[in-house]
Amino acid sequence: MKALIVYFTTLGKTKKTAEAIGQSLKNYQVDYFGFELTGVFGQKVGIIGQLEKGDFSSMSEDLLKLEQMDQDYDLFVFGMPTYGNKPPGVYKEIIKRVNIQGKPVAYFGTCAGNGWVTMDQVTAAIEEAGGNLIDKIRLRGFFKPKLKKAALFGKSINTALAN
């Protein structure tokens, strides 16, 4: 079986978390699709601001690539961080580009503080896109990503779908 993990990352924590989950999906061949901001911190924060205003021009190539890729997967996992108490402004657009209709979907959110608004908004977007949300987790870590919890989350999805 095949799984696709789609994540957004600025500082790399969501990427590392995605990899920890992917490594635990033992029944799957796992592919990754990352929206990764580059540049110095100030530039990255500038892009986060643009996305919040609905300007996705910095992501248009990646969005198209995602939409046009072969999406023949048995499981989709989304990873979204929290910036300014919400997900990156492009989150809905990312989810819309993946054909999750009727497919099992898992979601993890990374944050340093609250992060619940992100959890709610991303959940709503997955449901709106017709995904079958099987599990989700908020991974809160101030300095480091919560990789052990992430690995357990991956293991639990792997087991749940094997039954």
Ligand X SMILES: Cc1cc2nc3c(=O)[nH]c(=O)nc-3n(C[C@H](O)[C@H](O)[C@H](O)COP(=O)(O)O)c2cc1C
Rule CB under 6 A: which residues touch ligand X? 9-14, 45, 48, 81-85, 110-115
Specify burial of residue 26 (Cβ count, 10 A radius: 0-12, 13-18, 19+): exposed
E strands present in 14-162 = 29-36, 75-81, 104-111, 132-140
Closer Cβ to ligand X, 35 or 161, answer by number: 35
Distance from C-alpha of 61 to C-alpha of 98, rounded to nearest angstrom: 15
Closer Cβ to ligand X, 39 or 130, answer by number: 39
Residue 4 CA: distances (Å) to CA of 10, 32, 54, 105, 144: 20, 6, 25, 10, 24
Closer Cβ to ligand X, 84 or 130, answer by number: 84
Backbone angles phi, psi at 27, to 5 degrees: -85, 5
Closer Cβ to ligand X, 44 or 155, answer by number: 44
Q: Please report how close the Cβ of residue 132 comes to ligand X at its closest, in angstroms.
A: 25
Order of strands across the sheet with 75-81?
A: 29-36, 2-9, 75-81, 104-111, 132-140
Q: Please report how close the Cβ of residue 151 comes to ligand X at its closest, in angstroms.
A: 16
Closer Cβ to ligand X, 48 or 150, answer by number: 48
Q: Please report how close the Cβ of residue 60 comes to ligand X at its closest, in angstroms.
A: 20
Q: Please report how close the Cβ of residue 5 comes to ligand X at its closest, in angstroms.
A: 13
Q: Please report how close the Cβ of residue 81 comes to ligand X at its closest, in angstroms.
A: 3
